[in-house]
Structure 1
Amino acid sequence: MTNETVAALIERSNRLGADARNTNYAGGNTSAKGSEIDPVTGQPVELLWVKGSGGDLGTLSEKGLAVLRLDRLRALVDVYPGVEREDEMVAAFDYTLHGKGGAAPSIDTAMHGLVDAAHVDHLHPDSGIAFATAADGERLTAEAFGGKVVWVPWRRPGFQLGLDIAGIKAQNPDAIGCILGGHGITAWGDTSEEAERNSLWIIETAQRYLDEHGRPDPFGAPLDGYGALPDAERRAKAAALAPTIRGIASHDRPMVGHFTDAPEVLEFLAAAEHPRLAALGTSCPDHFLRTKVKPMLLDLPAGSSVEESIARLKELHDAYREDYRSYYEAYATPESPAMRGADPLIVLVPGVGMFSYGKDKQTARVAGEFYLNAINVMRGAESISTYAPISDEEKFRIEYWSLEEAKLQRMPKPKSHATRIALVTGAASGIGKAIATRLAAEGACVVIADLDLEKAQAAAAELGTTDVAIGVQVNVTDAAQIDAAIQETVLAFGGLDIVINNAGLSLSKPLLETTEQDWDLQHDVMAKGSFLVSKAAARVLIEQQLGGDIVYIASKNSVFAGPNNIAYSATKADQAHQVRLLAVELGEHGVKVNGINPDGVVRGSGIFASGWGANRAKTYGIDEQDLGKFYAQRTILKREVLPDHVANAVIVLTGPELSHTTGLHVPVDAGVAAAFLR
């Protein structure tokens, strides 16, 4: 049962975290002090409940709280070895936990436990960080807040910062909080309501000061030629550049991307001061841990051609990597973790927008949101002063902090298809839906492409949020629609790695009843459609230089001469040979092309439900409901083939185990001797 103190803390945290003006995703922490009965002694014990490491205020629940004994936590002051060894205090927190302790304590635990207030909030509002990163932030803090908010000079988060803030509060009894230089804000109160009220007052007062005293052009005058391109042109250029930029961001390790052309980004990139400010990087630790110390900025006008932009981006990437290596070597010590990668996580393109990257779509999206926070911070700081982030040396101490490294090492092993982006055609039902579902379960981002947009979007929603899957409409016989689907894919997830040519239909007719229109329809959807999809996708795969997979869902009928399906079987044979041809042609780019030959997949199949099943049952002289059993009995294993069995084959072909396999056709037919490959 949740006590009243904890319930109030969670409600306050959720309210504060739900508003991006108060703090960023997973940023900041909140706490409450109170008492409970110790089950060992039967006596009251004073406790601290504080948001644990890695949690998010907006979605915080009781299980996300660390629970510590205040007497033991405060006793750590007496054994604190000093700022040079304060990292040891994080491990010491484990000896102060109450009961099972809840979530792992964060580095900010000392701030909450040592400050003499029942309720403490530490937040990262853009308005507050604008003061924290202003060159004369201490003076501006006194001017804007009077004695109610006190300036605390920059100090890396940790035990000493907790002591600093506790001392500031003791010396300033009328203060309700402080501005932490280069970092954020901290507020406190005797009740949960008072702490929340004080936090919001600081945030709102800071914003009001910026609104009333800030100059109207903090980023400088408009820069000729750097304004936003028209909507359609902007998104088309973004899609054209996305494969190149993803390849740049994935030089050291594969990344998923996110694109935004938010007005704030376009405004920043259109102003004269954006090169200077971008080079200064971000300041708040929460920001640059997700965005790297600085972005990569394309230094060309908005109207530059795609070809010019691609060539320059590649030059800038080389320079960025060299600059980052120099940054690492300038501050690394023998104890520093190895360099984690020298590629940018944020790429800015004037007139177009911002590309951000991470280990999955959510991480990439959040990185972009953090850089948007940084732009807002720069706007505020430059409007009332000069933006002055913490030094590169201090940034390095946080980016390559042993505690951050330990957190990274504790992360679970990624799934087999993590960082991979898949486009599956005909994926709103049947085999395609099973493939999409399995790919998402293995960590891939999935684009469900289908003739029926409503069904595609519904199927995508079943897989989770738009960070996992999206649905798009595409008629695979139409090259323009395919190009549009590819554009949506690269703008949603940054690029493309896996293409599943699954869209299809079937007409079961003997030769003399098969019309020219029947023949053309079958070949347009499957032979021509697969060709068009593969061609459009190959452009992206080649430009990314990350390899990739194209898989054709062909059929045992591509090699088996079954009765009354001349058009269907012939087009499946066409698909089967496309596999061989493209495997040879695309191999030099690291792209594997393979095929899967299922037997009749009856259950869940859109093809069988649309009349093919009835026609095949009539051909074999059986009831349609018995068709699956009939197919099973003619196989060697006497097993019915289901959509999930085809999905299994896709996972193996596109997974790490078959990294050296291309041009292969995998039978998924429970054993049909007549369809053996030879």
Structure 2
Amino acid sequence: MTHPTVAELVARSNRLGADPRNTNYAGGNTSAQGTDVDPVTGEPVELLWVKGSGGDLGTLTEQGLAVLRLDRLRALVAVYPGVDREDEMVAAFDFCLHGKGGAAPSIDTAMHGLVDAAHVDHLHPDAGIAIATAADGPALTTAIFGDKVVWVPWRRPGFQLGLDIAAVKAQNPQAVGTILGGHGITAWGDTSAEAEANSRWIIETAAAHIAEHGSQDPFGGARAGFEAVPDDERRARAAALAPTIRGLASTDRPMVGHFTDADVVLDFLASAKAPALAALGTSCPDHFLRTKVKPMLLDLPATATTAEQIARLRELHAEYRADYQAYYDAHATPDSPAMRGADPLIVLVPGVGMFSYGANKQTARVAGEFYVNAINVMRGAEALSTYTPISDAEKFRIEYWSLEEAKLARMPRPKSHQGRIAFVTGAASGIGKAIATRLAAEGACVVVADLDLAKAQAAAAELGSTDVAIGVAANVADAAAVQAAIDATVLAFGGIDLVVNNAGLSLSKPLLETTEADWDLQHDVMAKGSFLVAKTAARALVDQQMGGDVVYISSKNSVFAGPNNIAYSATKADQAHQVRLLAVELGEHGVRVNGINPDGVVRGSGIFASGWGANRAATYGVAEEDLGQFYANRTILKREVVPENVADAVYVLTGPELSRTTGLHVPVDSGVAAAFLR
């Protein structure tokens, strides 16, 4: 049964974390103190429940709390070796833990355990950080809050900061919280409701003061030529730029992207102060750990052509990498971790929007959200004063902190397809759905493309949130529809890495009954459709310069002359030869092109369910329900082929083990000797 204090803490945390005005995703932490029974002695014991490392307030559960004995935590003060060795205290927290399970204690645990208050909130609200990063933050704190909120000069999160805040609380009994220079806010209360009320009062009071007393034009007016371009043109421009920018951002390691053209971003990029403010970078540790110390800003007006923008982005990227290397060299010490990469995580394009990057879609999206937080912080600070973030030296101390390095080392090993973006046609059912499911399970971001948008979206929803998969409409026989689907892919995930040409249909008829319309329909969908998808995706693959995979789901019939399917088998042979041709042509770009030849995939197959199964059953003189076993019985292995077997082949072909394989056709047919490749 959940302890009442814990239930109260989780509810408070969820309320505060659900509102982005209070804190950013995974930012800040909350705590509560209370009494429970020691299971060993049966005696009451004073405990601290505090949000653990890496959790998110908005979705916090009891399992996300670290539970520590207060007596042991507070006893650490007597053995604290000083600020130069404060990092050692994080390991000491483990010896203060109570009970089994629970989350790992975060670096902010001392702040919650040492402050003399039963309930403590530490948050990163935009309005609070605006005051915290203003040049005259101490004076503004007094002017806005009187003596109820106390300014605490910048200090890196840790044990010493906990001692500092504890001293502030002891010396200012009238205070309800602090503004932490360059960082955020902390508030407290004797009850959970009081702590939450104090947190909200600080945030709302800061926001109201900025709105009432701040400049109405904090970013200095608009820059002519840098205004947002019209909606349709803006999205088309973003789709054209996305693959190149993703390739630049992935120079050191593959990244997934996110794009936003929210008004707050476009307005900032159109402002006179944007170049100078962007160059200053972000300040709150949570911000720059997600966004890097500063973004890469394109310095061309929105009237520039796409070609001009791309050329300048390449130049700026080289400059950014050199600048980041200089930043690392200037601040690294002999025991600093190795540089993690010099590519930008935020790329700003005036008139178009913001591209953000991360190891997966969720990380990329959150990085963009954090930079929006940073824009709001800069607006508030500039409205009242001058935005003054912490120094690069302090940023480096956090970015390359040994504790941060240890946190990264604890992250699970990435799956085989993490960071890869897959586009699968005909993926709302059958083989395509099995392929999409397998790729998503292996860490890929998946675009489920299908003629039926509703079915595509439903299939994508089964795979997870929109950070995992999206559904798009794709009539592969229509060039404009294919372009729209690929554009949607690169805008959703930043680019494209893996294309599966799976969409298909079949009409089983002998030659004399096959009409010209039958022939055209099957060739439009499979031969022409595969060509259009491959051609459109290839543009993005080439622009990215990251290599990639194209897989054709052809058929055993591409090499086997079966009865009564002239149109189907001919178009499958067309697809099979496209594999060979494109493997040669795209190889210089690092793109591998391979094919899979399934046979007898009856269960779960959209083609078989649409009438093909009945026709083939009639052709072979068996009952339709026995068709799968019929196909299996004529194979060497005597085993039925199901959609998941084809998905397994796609996984292997596109995984790391066959990185030197291209132009291959893989049979997935349980062994049909007549279809052996020669």
The normalised TM-score by structure 1 is 1.00
Residue 639 of structure 1 corresponds to which residue in structure 2? 639
* 1:99-152, Cα deviation, whole Å (9 max, x unpaired): 225110000000000000000000000000000000000000000000000000
* 1:489-504 map, 5 Å: 489-504=489-504
Q: Contact conserved, 1:15 with 1:58, CA < 8 A, in 2?
A: yes
* 1:532-543 map, 5 Å: 532-543=532-543
Tell whether 2:646 aligns with 1:653.
Answer: no
Name the SS of the counterpart of 2:98 in structure 1: strand
Residue 41 of structure 2 corresponds to which residue in structure 1? 41
Read off the aligned partner of 2:60 and give its amino acid letter: L
Tell whether 2:336 aligns with 1:336.
Answer: yes
* 1:295-327, Cα deviation, whole Å (9 max, x unpaired): 000000011100000000000000000000000
Tell whether 2:604 aligns with 1:604.
Answer: yes
Residue 380 of structure 1 corresponds to which residue in structure 2? 380
* 1:38-77 map, 5 Å: 38-77=38-77
* 1:160-239 map, 5 Å: 160-239=160-239
Residue 462 of structure 1 corresponds to which residue in structure 2? 462
Whole-angstrom CA distance in 2 between matches of 1:41 and 1:498: 59
Read off the aligned partner of 2:485 and give its amino acid letter: A
Task: Compare 93-102 and 437-446 and name the one that shifted more.
Answer: 93-102
* 1:181-580 map, 5 Å: 181-580=181-580
What is the deviation of 1:560? 0.5
Read off the aligned partner of 1:256 and give its amino acid letter: V
Q: Contact conserved, 2:579 with 2:594, CA < 8 A, in 1?
A: yes
Read off the aligned partner of 2:104 and give its amino acid letter: A
Name the SS of the counterpart of 2:217 in structure 1: coil
Name the SS of the counterpart of 1:570 in structure 2: helix
Whole-angstrom CA distance in 2 between matches of 1:599 and 1:510: 19
Name the SS of the counterpart of 2:147 in structure 1: helix
Residue 671 of structure 1 corresponds to which residue in structure 2? 671
Q: Contact conserved, 2:503 with 2:526, CA < 8 A, in 1?
A: yes
Read off the aligned partner of 1:571 and give its amino acid letter: T
* 1:467-523, Cα deviation, whole Å (9 max, x unpaired): 000000010000000000000000000000000000000010001111111111111
Whole-angstrom CA distance in 2 between matches of 1:239 and 1:633: 49
* 1:394-417, Cα deviation, whole Å (9 max, x unpaired): 000000000000000010100000
Q: Contact conserved, 2:423 with 2:499, CA < 8 A, in 1?
A: yes
Read off the aligned partner of 1:530 and give its amino acid letter: S
* 1:421-468, Cα deviation, whole Å (9 max, x unpaired): 000000000000000000000000000000000000000000010000
Residue 159 of structure 2 corresponds to which residue in structure 1? 159
Whole-angstrom CA distance in 2 between matches of 1:232 and 1:633: 55
Where in structure 1 are there 5+ consecutive unaligned residues?
none
| Count of residue correspondences | 678
* 1:557-593, Cα deviation, whole Å (9 max, x unpaired): 0000000000000000000000000000000000000
What is the deviation of 1:418? 0.1
* 1:88-167 map, 5 Å: 88-100=88-100, 102-167=102-167
Whole-angstrom CA distance in 1 between matches of 2:637 and 2:624: 21
* 1:247-304, Cα deviation, whole Å (9 max, x unpaired): 0100000000000000000000001000000000000000000000000000000111
Read off the aligned partner of 1:279 and give its amino acid letter: A
Name the SS of the counterpart of 1:98 in structure 2: coil
Name the SS of the counterpart of 1:102 in structure 2: coil
What is the deviation of 1:662? 0.2
Q: Contact conserved, 2:424 with 2:501, CA < 8 A, in 1?
A: yes
Read off the aligned partner of 2:111 and give its amino acid letter: M
Name the SS of the counterpart of 2:84 in structure 1: helix
Read off the aligned partner of 2:669 and give its amino acid letter: D
Read off the aligned partner of 1:362 and give its amino acid letter: Q
* 1:64-90, Cα deviation, whole Å (9 max, x unpaired): 000000000000000000000000000
Whole-angstrom CA distance in 2 between matches of 1:287 and 1:7: 29
What is the deviation of 1:39? 1.1
Whole-angstrom CA distance in 1 between matches of 2:398 and 2:39: 39
Tell whether 2:28 aligns with 1:15.
Answer: no
What is the deviation of 1:246? 0.1
Name the SS of the counterpart of 1:505 in structure 2: coil
* 1:43-66, Cα deviation, whole Å (9 max, x unpaired): 111000000000000000000000
Whole-angstrom CA distance in 2 between matches of 1:511 and 1:7: 72
Q: Contact conserved, 1:504 with 1:526, CA < 8 A, in 2?
A: yes
Residue 26 of structure 1 corresponds to which residue in structure 2? 26
Q: Contact conserved, 1:219 with 1:273, CA < 8 A, in 2?
A: yes
Where in structure 2 are there 5+ consecutive unaligned residues?
none
Q: Contact conserved, 2:600 with 2:632, CA < 8 A, in 1?
A: no
Whole-angstrom CA distance in 1 between matches of 2:499 and 2:303: 32
Whole-angstrom CA distance in 2 between matches of 1:624 and 1:94: 64
Whole-angstrom CA distance in 2 between matches of 1:221 and 1:121: 37
Whole-angstrom CA distance in 1 between matches of 2:549 and 2:39: 58
Read off the aligned partner of 1:501 and give its amino acid letter: N
Name the SS of the counterpart of 1:622 in structure 2: coil
Read off the aligned partner of 1:238 and give its amino acid letter: A
Q: Contact conserved, 2:431 with 2:644, CA < 8 A, in 1?
A: yes
Read off the aligned partner of 1:460 and give its amino acid letter: A
Whole-angstrom CA distance in 2 between matches of 1:414 and 1:169: 44
Name the SS of the counterpart of 1:127 in structure 2: helix
Whole-angstrom CA distance in 2 between matches of 1:50 and 1:221: 44
What is the deviation of 1:225? 0.2
Name the SS of the counterpart of 1:619 in structure 2: helix
Whole-angstrom CA distance in 2 between matches of 1:35 and 1:461: 43
Read off the aligned partner of 2:384 and give its amino acid letter: I
Read off the aligned partner of 2:186 and give its amino acid letter: T
Whole-angstrom CA distance in 2 between matches of 1:600 and 1:316: 53
Task: Report runs of 4+ in structure 1 exceeding 6 Å deviation.
Answer: none
Whole-angstrom CA distance in 1 between matches of 2:67 and 2:655: 42
Read off the aligned partner of 2:184 and give its amino acid letter: G
Whole-angstrom CA distance in 1 between matches of 2:577 and 2:236: 33
Q: Contact conserved, 2:450 with 2:472, CA < 8 A, in 1?
A: yes
Read off the aligned partner of 1:73 and give its amino acid letter: L
Whole-angstrom CA distance in 2 between matches of 1:633 and 1:102: 54
* 1:1-32, Cα deviation, whole Å (9 max, x unpaired): 11111110000000000000000000000000
Between the aligned residues of both structures, percent identity stands at 82
Name the SS of the counterpart of 2:238 in structure 1: helix
Task: Compare 516-525 and 388-397 and name the one that shifted more.
Answer: 516-525
Tell whether 2:8 aligns with 1:4.
Answer: no
Q: Contact conserved, 1:295 with 1:344, CA < 8 A, in 2?
A: yes
Read off the aligned partner of 1:513 and give its amino acid letter: E
Q: Contact conserved, 1:68 with 1:101, CA < 8 A, in 2?
A: no
What is the deviation of 1:42? 1.2
Whole-angstrom CA distance in 1 between matches of 2:309 and 2:648: 41
Read off the aligned partner of 1:651 and give its amino acid letter: Y
Whole-angstrom CA distance in 2 between matches of 1:53 and 1:670: 49
